[in-house]
Amino acid sequence: MKIRWPILRVSGTLALVWAWGISLIALLGFLSLAEDVYEKEGFPFDTPILHQLHQWRSPTLDQLAMALTQTASAKVIGPLALVLAVGGYLWRWPWPRFVLGFGGAVLLTQAGKLAFARGRPHLFPQLTPEHDFSFPSGHSVASLALVLGLYFLLRHRFPDKAVWVLVLGLPWAFLVGISRLYLQVHYPSDVLAGWALATFWTLLVWLQPNKS
């Protein structure tokens, strides 16, 4: 039985307007966060959120958060992205855009970490200590860029499967970001910036006209 998703089947000019609008909002959101980080200004929501997550700590949630964060680690998500790129090449899907979307988002993340050089939070002990820079969150970028890239990779030939990628993948990417906060290795503003960067860059790549 084929499942229909009429509310998610917006097409044509309206779809492009929505997509470009979301991309612009994501860019403005990232730039706003980046400006404050560059000027060493704090965010009023960072500390209360980390404090509340620390209050909710338990052995079960500790294990769950560590498992979630591992699903978006480089050793897991890197090979998965490579398999998708190779599969896209073999099946003649638009794999170059997938590579540019995912790989470009990861490279921009690393450039951002070096450019802003924001330290990790030290309000509470980190459950999985990290020693590199914090802004933006690489796990948040990689997980969301992978989900969005896979959606666009499938949407023309397998639209129903592509929608399932969003239905299952977006909650996963959200929980990966939350796990980084729970583990006390990122500020909430790092994770928000990661989601914004992944959204902006992935949409920018996939919304370009197809010249083939």
150 located within any domain: yes
Question: What does the mean pLDDT of the chain come to?
Answer: 91
Per-residue model confidence (pLDDT) at position 106: 97
pLDDT digits over 76-126, tens only?
999 999 999 999 999 999 999 999 999 999 999 999 999 999 999 999 999
7 located within any domain: no
Q: pLDDT over 90 for what percent of the chain? A: 81
87 located within any domain: yes
Provide the domain count of the chain: 1
pLDDT digits over 26-48, tens only?
999 999 999 999 998 889 999 99
Whole-structure pTM value:
0.91
Burial of residue 61 (number of CB atoms within 10 Å: 0-12, 13-18, 19+): middle
46 located within any domain: yes
94 located within any domain: yes
Q: What is the CATH number of the domain that holds 32?
A: 1.20.144
Do 114 and 165 meet the contact criterion of CB atoms below 8 Å apart? Answer: no
> In whole angstroms, what is the distance from residue 88 CA to residue 115 CA?
33
Per-residue model confidence (pLDDT) at position 211: 61
112 located within any domain: yes
Boundaries of domain holding 129: 12-206
